[in-house]
Chains A and B, each alone.
Chain A
Amino acid sequence: MNRALVVLFVCAGLLLLGFSPDSRADTVRCESSGSYRSCPVDGRSGVRLTRQLSSQGCWQGDTWGYDVGRIWVDRGCRAEFQVGGASSSSSKDNAVAAAVVLGIVGAAIIANKDRDRDRRDGYYDDRYGYGDPRRTIRCESNNNRVSYCGLPYRGHVEVYRQHSSSPCVYARSWGVERGRLWVSNGCRADFAVY
């Protein structure tokens, strides 16, 4: 009888241990290939995006977010997230040295500007190579009404510059549907097409 009770307590203890919230920080990878995706995690003690893997934007509350039970990602946001725990101290860098070097590099850029003028100009014509959008399109929802804007070509669309005080949040106040861009709820913005 007594032994059975002890075994029971030990088992209960082990169970509790196994199911107690893990205070360690875990890294979770959650990736959208273009559409909405959710990854189950215990989000009660917070989630932090620690490393963005995608070129396509990761914007909290827009293309990624979390709640108590999951991390979600959308529109091509791919990233690693730290779930729970204190923020891990990332690799410390020599900031002072970096600042000094920065100034020197600034000078280096100027020096090279003259020396490599031709090459540089050629390079600058390659706007695409900067990661800047090929084109931006202004689309505005007035009086909270839905309006549509044409897209010049197929490509990944992101908010480039929001002009309204009303938030432009994907699927809520803007989106892409049958090759057209739509905005609503007062979202006014320049959209980038990559």
Chain B
Amino acid sequence: MRIRRFVPVLAAALLCTGAMAATPAGDAAADQKPAGHKASDHKRAGHKPGDRKSRLLARMDRNGDGKISFEEYRNAMLRRFDARDKNHDGVLDGDEFPQQWLSGAAITAEQKRISRDDFSDQLQPSFDHFDADKDGDLDGAELDAFLAARHQEKQP
């Protein structure tokens, strides 16, 4: 029961680390990386190249409208979950379980495992939580709120 409360957290953490992976250091091998830093993208999305929002959009905004729809969110999140699930058993456990994402939080997972179904079922609630105006897209301030956890990185 308790594990269910972690699922939105995991979802956000998966996403955040995804955005982190796109730091300049990670972009050194530019030819190998998804082409998400093209000038045209940023013109469309209205953000400076390299900011967090742009990186997030580069990863998830499939139709290039500067917003993240639930469909885009669902597909990206499940890909991330499945990539972490190395043995493809539909469960993150053992080394697959992102324990480090929960340490520091005032919670402890009793079971170090999370099933894909539980994860999947929390995608809509976690998305809806950030979709303040309930229009089915994350954009503008909603994306900022979504990335808020990452904003703290700049603080000492």
Contact = CB atoms under 8 A, between A and B. Distances in A.
B21 A109 contact: no
Interface of B: 4-9, 12-13, 16-18, 20-21, 25-26, 32-36, 40-41, 58-59, 61-64, 71, 74-76, 78-84, 100-107, 117, 120-122, 124-126, 128-129, 148-153
Contacts of A190: 34-36
A148 to B, nearest CB: 19
8 contacts: A58-B74, A60-B71, A104-B104, A104-B105, A106-B148, A106-B153, A109-B17, A138-B35
Contacts of A136: 33-35
A110 B35 contact: no
Given A103-B149, A109-B149, A162 B9 contact: no
B80 A102 contact: no
Interface of A: 51-52, 54-55, 57-60, 90-95, 97-99, 101-113, 116, 124, 127-136, 138, 159-163, 190, 192
Nearest to B82: A55
Closest 4 CB pairs of A and B: A106-B149, A108-B104, A131-B79, A131-B83
A78 to B, nearest CB: 11
B81 to A, nearest CB: 8
A45 B81 CA distance: 32
Given A116-B100, A131-B76, A51 B117 contact: yes
A68 to B, nearest CB: 23
A116 B36 CA distance: 28
A161 B16 contact: no
B104 A130 contact: no
Nearest to B106: A104
